[in-house]
Amino acid sequence: MKKTLLALASLLILCSMSYAQENNAPEIKTDDNYVFQMNQSGDMFIKLNINGAVPIMPEQLKFGMDLDLGICYLFTKWFGLGGTVSFSYNPTLGQKIFYTIPILAQAFFQLEVWRFEIPLFIGVGGAFEHHSSNFYFGLYIKPEIGFYYRINPEWSVGASCGFAIIPQWYTNPEYNYTGYILTPGLSARYHL
**Which is higher by pLDDT, 28 or 66?**
66
Mean pLDDT, residues 1-17 taken together = 67
pLDDT tens-place string over residues 56-83: 998 899 999 999 999 999 999 999 999 9
Mean pLDDT, residues 160-182 taken together = 93
pLDDT of residue 38: 83
Distances (CA, A) of 189 to 35, 42, 146: 23, 16, 11
pLDDT of residue 134: 87
| Cα distance between residue 84 and residue 81, in whole Å | 10
pLDDT of residue 58: 86
pLDDT of residue 132: 87
| Cα distance between residue 165 and residue 57, in whole Å | 10
Per-residue pLDDT band at 22 (split at 50, 70, 90):
low
| Cα distance between residue 176 and residue 170, in whole Å | 6
Mean pLDDT, residues 23-29 taken together = 61
| Cα distance between residue 53 and residue 84, in whole Å | 16
Look up residue 92 and give its DSSP letter. Answer: B
| Cα distance between residue 124 and residue 139, in whole Å | 8
Topology (CATH level 3) of domain 44-191:
Porin (2.40.160)
| Cα distance between residue 97 and residue 136, in whole Å | 14
User: What percent of the chain stands above pLDDT 70?
Assistant: 83
Work out the mean pLDDT of the chain and round it to a whole number: 89
Torsion angle (degrees, nearest 10) of CA 16, 19, 23, 25: -120
Q: What's the number of CA atoms in the CB half-sphere (13 Å) around residue 130?
A: 8
| Cα distance between residue 141 and residue 46, in whole Å | 20
Mean pLDDT, residues 140-158 taken together = 96
- Return the domain boundaries, the chain: 44-191
Say how far residue 42 (Cα) sits from the centre of its chain: 14
pLDDT tens-place string over residues 83-135: 999 999 999 988 899 999 999 999 999 999 989 999 999 999 999 999 888 89
pLDDT of residue 31: 61
Residue type, 139: L
Q: What's the number of CA atoms in the CB half-sphere (13 Å) around residue 74?
A: 19
- 19 pLDDT higher than 90: no
Provide the whole-model pTM.
0.79
